[in-house]
Structure 1
């Protein structure tokens, strides 16, 4: 699956660098774990549908009752239709320069803080709903005061979030200008029990698959496929020993696409079938 460079693919003039950008995003079919290189920090104001995102060692899922502020970087996005046959969100992008200017103007400093999470979950309310309604890409295209108006909209939502969430939001904003990169091992080990493929974990580490495999083997002294399989099968054994879950309940979460392959791998490792553990 190709990597999407966002927001650049939405720009009408590909040669223009923007500090703030709005895009009305719509689609009529589900997208699962698309690879996104996000070059600007971004508000995702979801209006219809569901969204799940993975970044390095963490993931989060939201519906239309919530919005997200996402840190720039490599993400895996899953966007799902809800009861309606459309997915719709408004995307509001801003550069690190714009963020630094804002922090200089309204807070005491702009030093980077340690990052706790690459995303901030926003609970939608009446004010945010009104803000979203005022945020249309058509309003901010080639008009005399479009740029100035968009800058005011950016300050408006940022100031409202500071009012709503206080220090928690301010600390998050500072983390967006941090130059720290998630360590390789943290990203790998945070996804041990996910159902992500090796290629997807490599992408979250900002590596090609071949580089990831080489780096992994140097770090862990075993190939990544074998290491992950052993860890996930051990987790499966623990879940089955709990007595509440069957193999059919867990094989997808353990990273297997079908029950038969999971059962075979499990028996090869432990000498018994998953059904023998459960029973």
Structure 2
């Protein structure tokens, strides 16, 4: 799957590098784990549909009741239709320049950020709805005036969110301008129990697949495929032994395309099939 460079693919004029940019993203079919190189921090105001984003160390899922502020970086996006036939998300991008100007003007500059996150979740309310309507109205006016108004609208939104979320939001904004790379092991170990493929985990680490494999073997002295399979099968066995899941419930969650492949890998590792684990537990409980 090709990497999408966002917002560059949405900007019609190649010579333009706007500090604040709005784009109405719409689609009529699901997109699962598309690779996105996000070069600007971005608000994602979901209007219709469902959205999930995989980051280097975590993931988040939202519906139309929530919006996201996303840190720039390499992420995997899943965007799904809901009951309607169209997915619609209003995106608001902003440069580090306008963010720094805002922080200098409206916040304390001696803040020490102890914790970083690639996203901030915003609860949608009447103000957010009204704000999005005003952004739509701005799109109808000439470009020169549009840019000036968007700069003002950006400041308005940030002031509102500062008032709504206080110090928590202030700290988050400061974290957006701190350059710190995520430790390799932290990323890997946060994805042990996901269904992401090696290629997708490599992308989140900002590496090619071949570089990722070399780096992995250097860190763990084993191939990433074998290491992840062992970790995931151990977790699957644990879930089956707890009698909270069946094999058909969990095989997709651990990266297997079908139940047969999962059962074969499971039996090769443990000497018994997943169903035998479940049946043993059920026999134990009924006796």
With normalisation by structure 1, the TM-score equals: 0.97
Q: Which string of whole-angstrom CA distances, capped at 9 and with x for unpartnered residues, describes residues 58-87 of structure 1?
A: 100000011000000001000000100000
Residue in 1 that maps onto 2:99: 99
More helix by share: 2
Shift of 1:19: 1.0
With normalisation by structure 2, the TM-score equals: 0.94
Residue in 1 that maps onto 2:169: 169
Which structure 2 segments of 5+ residues have no match?
A: 280-287
Closer, same or farther in 2 for the Cα pair 1:51/1:230, shift >3 Å? Answer: same
Closer, same or farther in 2 for the Cα pair 1:234/1:37, shift >3 Å? Answer: same
Alpha-carbon distance between aligned partners in 2 of 1:84 and 1:187, rounded to the nearest angstrom: 35
Residue in 1 that maps onto 2:148: 148
Which structure 1 segments of 5+ residues have no match?
A: none
Residue in 2 that maps onto 1:196: 196
SS of 2:77's equivalent in the other structure is strand
| Pairing of 1:78-227 with structure 2 (within 5 A) | 78-109=78-109, 113-136=113-136, 139=139, 142-227=142-227
SS of 1:79's equivalent in the other structure is strand
Q: Which string of whole-angstrom CA distances, capped at 9 and with x for unpartnered residues, describes residues 35-94 of structure 1?
A: 000000000000000000011011000000110000000010000001000000110000
* Alpha-carbon contact 2:43-2:69 (below 8 Å) kept: yes
Shift of 1:117: 1.5
Q: Which string of whole-angstrom CA distances, capped at 9 and with x for unpartnered residues, describes residues 122-176 of structure 1?
A: 0000000000111128627643422211110000110000011001101110111
SS of 1:136's equivalent in the other structure is helix
Alpha-carbon distance between aligned partners in 2 of 1:65 and 1:50, rounded to the nearest angstrom: 10
Moved over 6 A (4+): none
Alpha-carbon distance between aligned partners in 2 of 1:112 and 1:12, rounded to the nearest angstrom: 39
Root mean square deviation, CA, Å: 1.3
Deviates more, 1:238-247 or 1:27-36: 238-247
Shift of 1:16: 1.7
